[in-house]
Amino acid sequence: MKINFLGTGTSQGIPVIGSDHPVCLSSDKKDKRLRTSILLDWEGIQIIIDCGPDFRHQMLRSNCSKIDTILFTHEHNDHVSGLDDIRPFYFKYGTIPIYAERRVINSLTQRFPYIFNNINKTSSVPSVKTNEIIDQFIFKNKIVIPIRAFHGQLPILGYRFADFAYFTDVKIIQEPELKKLKNLKVLVINALRIEEHKSHLNLEDAIALIQRINPKKAYLTHVSHKLGFHKEIQRSLPKNIFLAYDELEIEIN
């Protein structure tokens, strides 16, 4: 299993437009962050989790020529607004299956009615096959386990794929769901900034949750400029926790 971090930034990315914050002015490539998304290659099955406003650039930068499905964590703009850019994949391979909760599908339908309305659809418009997530499901003979989390008051989903689990925009994972995260090799989870935040884990929260879940390795994503410089934060982390960065690729055996 291979994971490509397509983007590791928050809703504004880094640098933030017009900001003179030192991290936004950094020349370190690892301090440049597009909106959060990953590409998971699971024995040749190409899975995207979330496609935000940087999706087109991320696909070009990663040389991705095929995707098999898109999974959505929730409906916020920085996680869904790139959906129209699946057009080249649709033109080449046909209808693309997407997986999300019913609330998220409804939001996408309102946002992109021309994608979801099959009446009088033109050839230039992409097509998707919607799959509502209710419980764990099988995609191309692979078991995907959705895991409930909360982004403030908003219920969202993380996902477990064999020994790997991925979360973003999390504030709380309740005890029954934590039990689904035993024996992970790799966990990816958000760490927005140093200061407390009402709807995201801060760095202290994220480290405490990682230590509770106890994966062999963990990577932090959905990072804002207020977390600090990549090099400085990485030096402060426990030895099995890493600050992810755009274009980082890891492999899980």
Report pTM.
0.96
pLDDT attached to residue 119:
65
CATH numbers and ranges of domains, the chain: 2-245 (3.60.15.10)
pLDDT attached to residue 123:
73
pLDDT attached to residue 117:
82
HEC per residue, the chain: CEEEEEECECCCCECCCCCCCCCCCCCCHHHCECECEEEEEECCEEEEECCCCCHHHHHHHCCCCCCCEEECCCCCHHHHCCHHHHHHHHHHHCCEEEEECHHHHHHHHHHCHHHHCCCCCCCCCCCEEEEECCCCEEECCEEEEEEEEEECCEEEEEEEECCEEECCCCCECCHHHHHHHCCCCEEEEECCCCCCCCCCCCHHHHHHHHHHHCCCEEEEECECHHHCCHHHHHHHCCCCEEECCCCCEEECC
Q: What is the mean pLDDT for each group of 10 consecutive residues in the chain (253 residues)? A: 98 98 98 98 98 98 97 98 97 96 98 84 85 97 98 98 98 97 98 97 98 98 98 97 98 96
